Structure 1
C-alpha cells in the first residue's frame, strides 16, 4: 500500500508541475507583481511618454469614432486586433494604418489562454498574425493575450512568430457593466505616471453592451490630463520598450 501511495503522490507532483509549467506565466496577470518584477512586460517605457492602446477591435460600430476622436487631438495609438473581428472588417484594419496608428495581435478568438494546449495556442496566434500582415501589409510587433493571462505555450508561440508580449500598467475597467465616462477616467488616471501603458477598449464585442461609449466619452479628458501633466502620448512603437 505504501508503494501505491508513493506512486500516487509522485503522479500528483508531476501533474502539478505540468500545470505550473503551462499556466505559471499567468501570474503575470497580477498587475502590481508584474509591474514590480517585469516592468517591460507591463509596458513601462519612457518616463516622459504614455502609451495608449485599445483592445478587441476593429469594430465597424465603434472603432471609427475612436479614430475620429484621436485625430482631433493629433494622437496615434496601438490597436490590439482580434483576428475574427479583422476578418469581418478588413477595411478598418487598413484604415487604422492609413491614419498612422499601430496594429498588434490580440489573438484570433478572445478565449483564456490556459484553456488551450500548445498546438491550439500557436494556431490562434499564427492565424491572427498572418491575417493582420496580409490585410495591412505590415507585420505586427506586439502581442497581448486575452485577459492579460500568459501561458508558457503562448510565450513560445509569440517568440516563434516574432511577437513581443506587452500587457499594461493602467486600465479604465471600461469593459464592466455600470461603468461611466467618469469612472473610466478616474480609474485609468488613479496612479497614472510617465512610462505607463494604458489599456482601453474600442469595441464591446467581449464587454458590456455599449461600454465603448463610456471609453469614448472619457478619452478627451484623458488626453487633456496627460497633456496637463507634461507627458506625451502615442503608440507602443514610440514608448521606448526596445531600449
Structure 2
C-alpha cells in the first residue's frame, strides 16, 4: 500500500465513525422549535387549525397522574399520555384507568434515557416492548411515539417507524420540569407559543424532573385549557388532532361554567 493510500485509509477510518455519529444524532436538530415548525410541521404536532392537542409525558405515576385525570374529568377534556414502559408495567391499573376515562396512550420509550450512542437493535426492541406492554394492558395499540427528552435520533426514528408509530414532538411547552416552575410560569410559557393546530407538552410526573414540579403543572392546567377555549380552540388528544382523526370532546361549547 502506498503512503497516499495509507493516509486515505486512516482518514476514512476517522471519518466513517464521525459520519455515523452525525447520521445518528442529526435528527436531534428537530428539538429546536424553529427548525421543527418550519421544516417538519408533522413532527411538531401540527394538526387541525382550530384544535390544540394536549399531551403529557413521563407517567404513569400513582402519586400525581390520578390528580391530572380528575382535573381533566372536571374540565371535560381528554388528552394523550406518553408513558414510559417500565413505569406502565409497574402500575397496570393506573394505565387501564387512564384509558377507561377516555384518554389515549403514546409511547415514550421503555426507559427515560439519553440516546447519545447509536443503538438500532436496542431502540427497536425497547420501543416494540413498550408497544406490546400498552397493547397488552389496554387492548389498544398505541399510534404515537415521543422520544425521551424530545431528542430524536436516527435509530429511534427508525424504531418508531418499524413499530408502526408516528413520531410527534410539540409546538408549545410549559417548561414544567424545573425546580422553579410555578403555575404562572407554566401557563405563560404555554401561552407564548399557543396557536391553533399546535401540540402542547406538559408532564404528569416528576419521575425525571425536579421533585414536586408536577404540582405547578396541575395548578396551571385549568387556566391553560381556559386560554385555549377563550381563543376559540378545542382541546383534546392527538387522535382528534390529525386530519383523519374523529372529532371529540373538549369543544368550547362543552366547557363547564366558571
1:98 matched to which residue of 2? 100
Q: Distance in 1 between matches of 2:5 and 2:238?
A: 56
2:124 matched to which residue of 1? 122
2:242 matched to which residue of 1? 240
Q: Distance in 1 between matches of 2:189 and 2:243?
A: 24
Query: Which SS does the other structure have where 1:115 is aligned?
Result: coil
Residue 178 of structure 1 pairs with residue 180 of structure 2: yes
For 2:191, which of 186, 189, 192 is the aligned residue? 189
Query: Which SS does the other structure have where 1:113 is aligned?
Result: coil
1:107 matched to which residue of 2? 109
| Contact in 2 for aligned 1:44/1:241 (Cα 8 Å) | no
2:251 matched to which residue of 1? none
The alpha carbon displacement at 1:124 in A equals 1.1
Query: Which SS does the other structure have where 2:116 is aligned?
Result: helix
The alpha carbon displacement at 1:113 in A equals 2.5
| Contact in 2 for aligned 1:177/1:211 (Cα 8 Å) | yes
**TM alignment of 1:45-56, pairs within 5 A:** 45-56=47-58
For 2:88, which of 45, 62, 86 is the aligned residue? 86
TM-score by length of 2: 0.91
| Contact in 2 for aligned 1:113/1:145 (Cα 8 Å) | no
How many corresponding residue pairs?
243
**Moved >6 Å (runs of 4+):** none
Q: List per-residue Cα deviations over 1:157-205 (Å, max 9, x = no partner).
A: 1111111100000100000111111110001111211011000000000
Structure 2: segments with no counterpart, 5+ residues: 246-258
2:34 matched to which residue of 1? 32
2:156 matched to which residue of 1? 154
Q: List per-residue Cα deviations over 1:113-138 (Å, max 9, x = no partner).
A: 23351111111101111100000110
CA RMSD for the aligned pairs? 1.3
TM-score by length of 1: 0.96
